[in-house]
Amino acid sequence: MTLDPQAKWVLDVAEEKGLPSLDQLTPTEAKAAYETRALTLTFKDVDIGKTMDLDIPGPLGDIPIRIYHPVGMSGSLPVLVYYHGGGWVIGSRDTHDSLCRLIANSGPFVVVSVDYRMGPEHRFPAAVQDSVAALNWTAAHIGGHGGDPAKIAVGGDSAGGNLSAVVCLIAREEKSYMPTFQWLIYPATRMEMSTPSHQKFAEGYFLTKPLMEYFQGHYLRNDEDRKDWRASPLLADSLKGLPPALIQTAGFDPLQDEAIEYAERMNREGGNAVHTHYEGMIHGFLNLGGAIDKAAECVNEGVAALRDAFSK
């Protein structure tokens, strides 16, 4: 397996600039640094029909969201509720703005981007509670914002993929609104960090072991939280009765083994999970669309899977 030349270029540029790893910064500094870094190599100049920023009610206070309407489209459109990545500590609707624009236009879909609460100010399970509340709000209210409440999927990258999976498990347990589909982009599914891919790619590819420990340390309350299926959905007793899923992984990503295991378990237990692998890619490549061509391919694959799910 060979690292994609474009991914290698991104890693080389980061090393040349000598930027400190986020785990060397305070959480406040890391949040600010990522807001800047995330915009550097993301998709550029993506037009959009309309966006609307709202604060919706949640169990811990209002939750900021951004609703995207695609260019040149009106009427009732399928909906994607999107949860951004960032280790449950960094990231926002702004860091993933261009990505959500691209998804909305490519669908065409209405996209609801959720600024869930994060650590260390709001530790687990605050992000989970906000994510569930945002899905349920969307089901109840998106009809008034150009979306079809009968066609709502969830999706997200990394920590956002984790939250997407957990939201579906909670919907099953609580018998609340169940999404049509789940789009899990290199999701974290188990906090243990003991798989072969965690060991093989612990250093050198952005998402290092120290950075993952940093994120977990600022997200989780204690070691016991690692065993909670709302943090580690792979530890759920059952993966039956969940929406179909597209699970995308990257070849130089420590999270790949646990994501693949999630897909395999879904299928063993009667679900329908399609797994695709981007062999030469690094964790986070989806948000590097300004430099890595495979990011657009990844988006197109996800959009096609969503279209297919919404058509059934």
Query: How high is the pLDDT of residue 40?
Result: 95
pLDDT at 1 over 90: no
- Percent of the chain predicted with pLDDT > 70: 100
* Domains within the chain, CATH numbers bracketed: 5-310 (3.40.50.1820)
Q: Are strands 147-157 and 273-282 parallel, antiparallel or unpaired?
A: unpaired
CA 241/CA 260 separation, integer angstroms: 19
Query: How high is the pLDDT of residue 73?
Result: 80
Write out pLDDT tens, residues 168-190: 999 999 999 999 999 999 999 99
pTM: predicted TM-score of the whole model, two decimal places: 0.98
**Confidence band for 166, pLDDT divided at 50, 70 and 90:** very high
Query: Across the chain, which distance is largest between two alpha carbons, in Å?
Result: 51
Give the CA distances from residue 211 to residues 115, 172, 254, in Å, rounded to whole numbers and listed in that order: 21, 32, 12
Write out pLDDT tens, residues 98-123: 999 999 999 999 999 999 999 999 99
- Phi and psi angles of residue 264, each rounded to the nearest 5 degrees, phi first: -65, -40
pLDDT at 16 over 90: yes
Over residues 18-43, mean pLDDT: 96
pLDDT at 299 over 80: yes
Residues with a catalytic annotation lie at: 158, 253, 283
Q: Is 67 helix (H, G, I), strand (E, B) or coil?
A: strand
E strand residue ranges, 175-267: 182-185, 245-252
pLDDT at 74 over 80: no
**Confidence band for 75, pLDDT divided at 50, 70 and 90:** confident
| Sign of torsion over alpha carbons 252, 258, 263, 267 | positive
Write out pLDDT tens, residues 212-261: 999 999 999 999 999 999 999 999 999 999 999 999 999 999 999 999 99
- Phi and psi angles of residue 77, each rounded to the nearest 5 degrees, phi first: -110, 155
Write out pLDDT tens, residues 127-164: 999 999 999 999 999 999 999 999 999 999 999 999 99
- Percent of the chain predicted with pLDDT > 90: 98
